[in-house]
Structure 1
Amino acid sequence: MKLVNTSVKRPVGVIMIVLAIIALGIVSLRNLAIDLYPEIDLPIAVVSTSYPEAAPEDVQKLVSRPIESAVSSIEGIDTVQSQSQAGTSLVIMMFNNGVNIDTALLDVREKVDQAKGFLPEGANEPNVLKFDPQQIPVMWVGLTGDNAAALQNIADDRLVPYFERQGGVASVSVEGGKIREVQIELDRAKLLQYGLNSQAVMQALAGSNQSGSAGVIEKGNKDLQIRIEGSFATLDDMKQTIVPTPSGAQVLVEDVGKVKDTFQEATSETLVNGKPAVVLSVLKKTDGNTVDVADNMNQAIEDVQNDLPAGVNLDVVLDTSTFIKMSISTVVQNMIIGGIFSLLILLLFLKSIRATIVIGLSIPIAIISTFTLMYFTGETLNVLTMGGLALGIGMMVDSSIVILENIVSYRQRGYSIIEAAKQGASELAPAVIASTTTTLVVFLPIVFVEGIASDLFTPLALTVSFSLIASLVVSVTLIPMLSSKLLTKAMEDNGRRYWFDRFMEKVNKAYESILRSVLRFRKTTILATIVAIGGSLALIPMIGTEFIPESDQGQIQITVQTPTGTSLEGTKATTDQVNTLLQEYRDSIETNYVSIGGGGYDSLSSSANEATYTIQLVPSDQREKTTTEVMQAIDRDLTNIPGAEITVSVMGAGIGTGDPIQIQLNGQDQDVLNELADQVVWTISDVKGVYNPASSVSESRPELTIDVNREKAAQYGLSYQEVMNQVQMGFTGQVATRYQEGGNEIDVKLIYPKDERSTISDLETMQIQTQTGTMLPLASIATFQQEQGPSTLLRENQQPQLNITSDIVDRDLGSVTKDIKTKLNNMNFPEGYSYTIGGQAQDMAKSFSDLAIALVFSIFLVYAVMAIQFENFLFPLVIMFSLPATVVGILLGLFVTGKPLSIPAFIGVIMLAGIVVNNAIVLVDYINIVRQRGKSRYEAILEAGPSRLRPIFMTTLTTILGMVPLALGLGEGAEAQQPLAITIIFGLGISSIFTLLLIPVVYTYFDDLSGKVVGWGKKKE
Structure 2
Amino acid sequence: EDLYEYTVKTVGEFKYVSEVGDVLLTKDDRQQEQARTSKQLRKESSRRTGGIIYLRDIAEVRESIKDATGRSRYNQRESISLSVFPQSGSNLVAMSKLVRAKLKQIEVKIPKTVNVEIIYDQSDFIKSSLHNIYFDATLGGILSFVIILIFLKDLAAALIILVALPISILAALSMMYFAGISINTMSLGGLALGVGMVVDNSNVVLEGIFAYLQKHPDKSKKEIIYEATSRQVVSVIASTLTLIAIFLPFIFVSGVAGQLFKEMALTITFSMVASIAAALILVPRLALNLDFERYKKQDTSMKILDVFPPMLTKFLAAPRGKTWRFLYGYLIIGLILFMFIPKEFMPKLDERRFTLNVTLPPQTTLKVTTDLGKKIENYLFSVPEVKNVIVNIGSSGEDIGAEVESLGMNQARIIGRLKKRGRSTDKIVAELGEELKHWRVDQMETEFITQQGLFGSSLGSSAGLTIEVKGNNLVELEKKSTEIKNELAGMPDIYGIKTIPSQLVPELKLDIQRERASLFGLNVQDISATLLAAIKGYVATKFKEREDEYDIRVRLRPEDRSDLSRMGELTIYSPFGRNIQLAQISDLKFVKSLPEIRRIEGQRTYLIMANTGKGFSKTVARVKKAINMVISPDDNVTAEITGEMLALRESMNSAVFALALAVVIIYMILASQFESLILPLIIMITIPMGIIGGVYALFFSFNSINSVSMQGMIMLIGLVVNSGIILVDRYKIARTEEPGRDLVELVIECTVERLRPILMTTLTTILGVLPTALAVGSNATAPMAITIMGGETFRLVLTLFFVPSAYLLIESAKKRD
Gaps in structure 1 of 5+ consecutive residues: 1-215, 1014-1021
Q: Structure 1: which amino acid aligns with 2:429?
A: M
Q: Structure 1: which amino acid aligns with 2:778?
A: G
Q: Tell me if 1:607 matches 2:399.
A: no
**Cα root mean square deviation, aligned:** 2.7
- How far does residue 888 in structure 1 lie from its aligned partner after superposition? 2.9
| Residue pair 1:383, 1:973 contacting (<8 A) in 2 also | no
Structure 1 partner of 2:232: 428
Q: Tell me if 1:340 matches 2:142.
A: yes
Q: Tell me if 1:292 matches 2:91.
A: no
- How far does residue 876 in structure 1 lie from its aligned partner after superposition? 1.6
Structure 1 partner of 2:307: 507
Q: Where does 1:48-447 land on structure 2 (aligned, <5 Å)?
A: 218-219=3-4, 227-232=9-14, 235=17, 238-246=20-28, 251-412=53-214, 413-414=216-217, 415-447=219-251
Residues 965 and 287 of structure 1: is their aligned pair in 2 closer, same or farther, counting only changes over 3 Å? same
| Residue pair 1:394, 1:962 contacting (<8 A) in 2 also | yes
Q: Separation in 1 of the partners of 2:493 and 2:606? A: 22
Structure 2 partner of 1:990: 794
| Residue pair 2:495, 2:611 contacting (<8 A) in 1 also | yes
Residues 480 and 720 of structure 1: is their aligned pair in 2 closer, same or farther, counting only changes over 3 Å? closer
- How far does residue 694 in structure 1 lie from its aligned partner after superposition? 3.3
Q: Tell me if 1:699 matches 2:500.
A: no
Residues 218 and 369 of structure 1: is their aligned pair in 2 closer, same or farther, counting only changes over 3 Å? farther
Q: Separation in 2 of the partners of 1:230 and 1:486? A: 95
- How far does residue 605 in structure 1 lie from its aligned partner after superposition? 5.2
Question: Quick one: which of 730, 743, 752 aligns to 2:556?
Answer: 752
Q: Separation in 2 of the partners of 1:217 and 1:435? A: 96
- How far does residue 722 in structure 1 lie from its aligned partner after superposition? 3.4
Structure 2 partner of 1:597: 394
Residues 640 and 661 of structure 1: is their aligned pair in 2 closer, same or farther, counting only changes over 3 Å? closer
Number of residue equivalences:
782
Q: Where does 1:668-687 land on structure 2 (aligned, <5 Å)?
A: 668-685=472-489
Q: Separation in 2 of the partners of 1:985 and 1:258? A: 78
Q: Structure 1: which amino acid aligns with 2:709?
A: A
Residues 218 and 421 of structure 1: is their aligned pair in 2 closer, same or farther, counting only changes over 3 Å? farther
Residues 779 and 785 of structure 1: is their aligned pair in 2 closer, same or farther, counting only changes over 3 Å? same
| Residue pair 1:631, 1:648 contacting (<8 A) in 2 also | no
- How far does residue 225 in structure 1 lie from its aligned partner after superposition? 5.3
| Residue pair 2:359, 2:410 contacting (<8 A) in 1 also | yes
The one-character-per-residue Cα deviations of 1:824-860 (angstroms, maximum 9, x if unpaired) are 2344335331112211110111111112111111111
- How far does residue 217 in structure 1 lie from its aligned partner after superposition? 8.3
Q: Separation in 2 of the partners of 1:224 and 1:716? A: 45
Structure 2 partner of 1:572: 370
Structure 2 partner of 1:560: 358
- How far does residue 917 in structure 1 lie from its aligned partner after superposition? 0.6
More RCO (CA 8 Å, sep 6+): 2
Residues 309 and 480 of structure 1: is their aligned pair in 2 closer, same or farther, counting only changes over 3 Å? same
Q: Tell me if 1:618 matches 2:419.
A: yes
Question: Quick one: which of 642, 647, 661 aligns to 1:843?
Answer: 647
Q: What is the aligned-residue identity percentage?
A: 27
Q: Separation in 1 of the partners of 2:502 and 2:543? A: 40
The one-character-per-residue Cα deviations of 1:538-571 (angstroms, maximum 9, x if unpaired) are 2222113111111000121222333331111221
The one-character-per-residue Cα deviations of 1:678-726 (angstroms, maximum 9, x if unpaired) are 2112334455633333323523222222334445445555444433333
Question: Quick one: which of 734, 737, 744 aligns to 1:933?
Answer: 737
Question: Quick one: which of 698, 703, 718 aligns to 1:914?
Answer: 718
Q: Separation in 2 of the partners of 1:596 and 1:631? A: 20
Q: Separation in 2 of the partners of 1:589 and 1:690? A: 22
The one-character-per-residue Cα deviations of 1:380-409 (angstroms, maximum 9, x if unpaired) are 322222222221111111111110111112
Structure 2 partner of 1:864: 668
Q: What SS does the corresponding residue of 1:278 show, helix, strand or coil?
A: coil
> Higher mean Cα deviation, 987-996 or 770-779?
770-779
Q: Structure 1: which amino acid aligns with 2:364?
A: T
Q: What SS does the corresponding residue of 1:280 show, helix, strand or coil?
A: coil
Structure 2 partner of 1:41: none
Structure 2 partner of 1:522: 320
Q: Structure 2: which amino acid aligns with 1:287?
A: G
Q: Separation in 1 of the partners of 2:606 and 2:15? A: 54
| Residue pair 2:312, 2:801 contacting (<8 A) in 1 also | no
- How far does residue 870 in structure 1 lie from its aligned partner after superposition? 1.8
| Residue pair 1:536, 1:887 contacting (<8 A) in 2 also | no
Structure 1 partner of 2:41: none
Q: TM-score, normalised by structure 2?
A: 0.90
Q: Structure 2: which amino acid aligns with 1:973?
A: S
Q: Separation in 2 of the partners of 1:685 and 1:720? A: 45
Q: Tell me if 1:786 matches 2:590.
A: yes
Q: What SS does the corresponding residue of 1:282 show, helix, strand or coil?
A: coil
Q: What SS does the corresponding residue of 1:529 show, helix, strand or coil?
A: helix
Q: What SS does the corresponding residue of 1:992 show, helix, strand or coil?
A: helix
Question: Quick one: which of 952, 962, 973 aligns to 2:778?
Answer: 973
The one-character-per-residue Cα deviations of 1:198-219 (angstroms, maximum 9, x if unpaired) are xxxxxxxxxxxxxxxxxx9855
Q: Where does 1:584-663 land on structure 2 (aligned, <5 Å)?
A: 584-585=382-383, 587-598=384-395, 604=405, 606-619=407-420, 623-641=421-439, 643=441, 645=444, 647=446, 649-652=448-451, 653=453, 654-657=456-459, 658=461, 659-663=463-467
Gaps in structure 2 of 5+ consecutive residues: 29-43, 46-50
- How far does residue 900 in structure 1 lie from its aligned partner after superposition? 1.9
Residues 398 and 718 of structure 1: is their aligned pair in 2 closer, same or farther, counting only changes over 3 Å? closer
| Residue pair 2:347, 2:704 contacting (<8 A) in 1 also | no
| Residue pair 1:707, 1:782 contacting (<8 A) in 2 also | yes
Structure 2 partner of 1:806: 610
Residues 530 and 701 of structure 1: is their aligned pair in 2 closer, same or farther, counting only changes over 3 Å? same
| Residue pair 1:562, 1:609 contacting (<8 A) in 2 also | yes
Structure 1 partner of 2:620: 817
Q: What SS does the corresponding residue of 2:109 show, helix, strand or coil?
A: coil
> Higher mean Cα deviation, 881-890 or 387-396?
881-890
Q: Separation in 2 of the partners of 1:516 and 1:795? A: 66
Residues 546 and 746 of structure 1: is their aligned pair in 2 closer, same or farther, counting only changes over 3 Å? same
Q: What SS does the corresponding residue of 2:605 show, helix, strand or coil?
A: strand
- How far does residue 489 in structure 1 lie from its aligned partner after superposition? 5.7
Q: What SS does the corresponding residue of 1:410 show, helix, strand or coil?
A: helix
Question: Quick one: which of 711, 732, 755 aligns to 1:949?
Answer: 755
Q: Structure 1: which amino acid aligns with 2:98?
A: N
Q: Separation in 1 of the partners of 2:240 and 2:311? A: 26
The one-character-per-residue Cα deviations of 1:871-910 (angstroms, maximum 9, x if unpaired) are 2222222211221222431222222112221111110111
Structure 2 partner of 1:958: 764
Q: Structure 1: which amino acid aligns with 2:626?
A: K
- How far does residue 352 in structure 1 lie from its aligned partner after superposition? 0.8
Q: TM-score, normalised by structure 1?
A: 0.72
Structure 1 partner of 2:34: none
Q: Structure 2: which amino acid aligns with 1:339?
A: G
> Higher mean Cα deviation, 769-778 or 278-287?
769-778
Q: Separation in 2 of the partners of 1:904 and 1:840? A: 14
The one-character-per-residue Cα deviations of 1:153-199 (angstroms, maximum 9, x if unpaired) are xxxxxxxxxxxxxxxxxxxxxxxxxxxxxxxxxxxxxxxxxxxxxxx
Q: What SS does the corresponding residue of 2:124 show, helix, strand or coil?
A: helix
Q: Separation in 2 of the partners of 1:464 and 1:283? A: 33
- How far does residue 316 in structure 1 lie from its aligned partner after superposition? 1.0
Q: Separation in 2 of the partners of 1:878 and 1:683? A: 53
Residues 800 and 560 of structure 1: is their aligned pair in 2 closer, same or farther, counting only changes over 3 Å? same
Higher strand residue share:
1
> Higher mean Cα deviation, 895-904 or 778-787?
778-787
Q: Separation in 2 of the partners of 1:387 and 1:928? A: 37
